[in-house]
Amino acid sequence: MSFVTRGFGGRSRDRDERLPPGQTLVHDFPVLSAGPTPEVDTAEWSFTIVTEAGTHRWSWDEFQALPAEDIATDIHCVTHWSKLGTSWRGVSLDTLFEDVESQFDYVMAHSFGGYTTNVPLDELLDGQAWIATEFDGEPLDPEHGGPARLLVPHLYFWKSAKWVRSLVMMPRDDPGFWEQNGYHIHGDPWQEERYW
Q: Which is nearer to another protein, 104 or 196 (CB)?
A: 196
Burial label, 49 (beta-carbon count in 10 A; 0-12, 13-18, 19+): buried
Instruction: Please give the single-letter amino acid code of residue 12.
Output: S
Q: Which is nearer to another protein, 21 or 67 (CB)?
A: 21
Residue 103 beta carbon to another protein: minimum distance, rounded to whole angstroms: 29
Would you count residue 178 as binding another protein (CB under 8 A)?
yes
Would you count residue 22 as binding another protein (CB under 8 A)?
no
Residue 114 beta carbon to another protein: minimum distance, rounded to whole angstroms: 7
Give the CA angle between residues 149, 154, 158 to the nearest 5°: 45
Query: Where would I find the beta strands (DSSP E) of 61-111?
Result: 69-76, 81-92, 106-111
Would you count residue 180 as binding another protein (CB under 8 A)?
yes
Applying CB under 8 A, which of residues 49, 50, 75, 78 lies at the interface with another protein?
A: 78
Give Cα separations from 10 to 3, 14, 15, 17, 84 (angstroms): 14, 8, 10, 15, 23
Q: Which residues contact another protein (rule: CB under 8 A)?
A: 30, 32-36, 77-79, 114, 158, 177-178, 180-183, 194-196
